[in-house]
Amino acid sequence: MRIGLGINYAGGFKEVAAEVADLERAGLDIAFVPEAYSYDAVSGLGYLAAKTDRVQLASGILQLYTRTPTLTAMTAAGLDYVSDGRYILGLGASGPQVIEGFHGVPYDAPIGRTREVIEICRKVWRRERLQYDGKYYTIPLPAERGTGLGKPLKLINHPVRERIPVLLAALGPKNVELAAEIAEGWQPIFFLPEKAEDIWGDALAAGKAKRDAALGDLEVYAGPALAIGDNVDGLREFVKPHLALYIGGMGAKGKNFYHTLATKYGYGAEADRIQELYLAGEKEAATKVVPDDLVRDISLIGSAGFVKERIAAFREAGVTVLNVVPLAGTPGERVKLIEQLRELV
């Protein structure tokens, strides 16, 4: 099992880079740079590439709608170059709150767009003259939609790799099936090992049945919160506001992927109540409704023995990367947690 960690995207690059360098020495395998509505991820990834030597660097995630497919491919090739082949292209649709609310771009057809973006990226990395006639993207633009002067071009540079690993963040059955079919990695959220097969097993199987063998085995990236010690169970309370935000506030009633997931996990009544309270502005009350068992089962918070048992459960469920969220107040404490986790995996 490999160990990943998402950096704090609200902080500055210099401070983060120093910490990632220490985490790299402690055994961290992958550093993820989020892109929400703070600084862009690409600037941070480029900065980290210059300040690290071994750790892989992943966008976690670049949003489908905020760049053209070709620019996504160019950016990935550039990041792979400056990192000497250490980049992982994390892609995802995000949600309408960010895409429409912050970028002013319609949130439509995430599954179809995902497939086409990846197909275009791989053509660019292979340095093919880019001609693509898809449902959502057409390159070059036809004369009736432009000037008629566009011609097929290929990337000037020779990429370090013509197959940069693609990691898809996906939750719904069709999205997960697509990830299992065409991506090197799949990143769910709030992964509960004992329920994973029931929730995603059919979708994963359907995707893998169509998977190109050249892609290799599908990597599965889970994202548990992490705290190791004999008196850390109380830290599970710090996970609840995050769950309440997603289950209750990320979308409207009937259009919230995370509420749906919690319901499938068997917490439908709680999910309804969390959403009701959160959308009414009662965030603290919503947080109190988040089930203790849910927090315990999706996290790695407890004694070393408990965490080791949970790691085994994640591994049994097919997880290959633990993209952890250390519950620690200082860089030194986060480094220590990664060292402890390295011993347990």
For 126-176, write each residue's pLDDT tens digit.
999 999 999 999 999 999 999 999 999 999 999 999 999 999 999 999 999
**3.10.20.30, 3.20.20.30, 3.40.50.2300, 1.10.10.10: CATH of 2-226+301-344:** 3.20.20.30
| 254 C-beta neighbours (distance < 10 Å), count | 8
- Give the CA distances from residue 146 to residues 65, 78, 135, in Å, rounded to whole numbers and listed in that order: 21, 28, 17
The 10s digit of each residue's pLDDT in 18-65 is 999 999 999 999 999 999 888 899 999 999 999 999 999 999 999 999
145: phi then psi, degrees, rounded to nearest 5: -115, 0
Rg (CA), the chain: 20
pTM passes above 0.85? yes
Q: Which residue has the tokens 């620019």?
A: 71
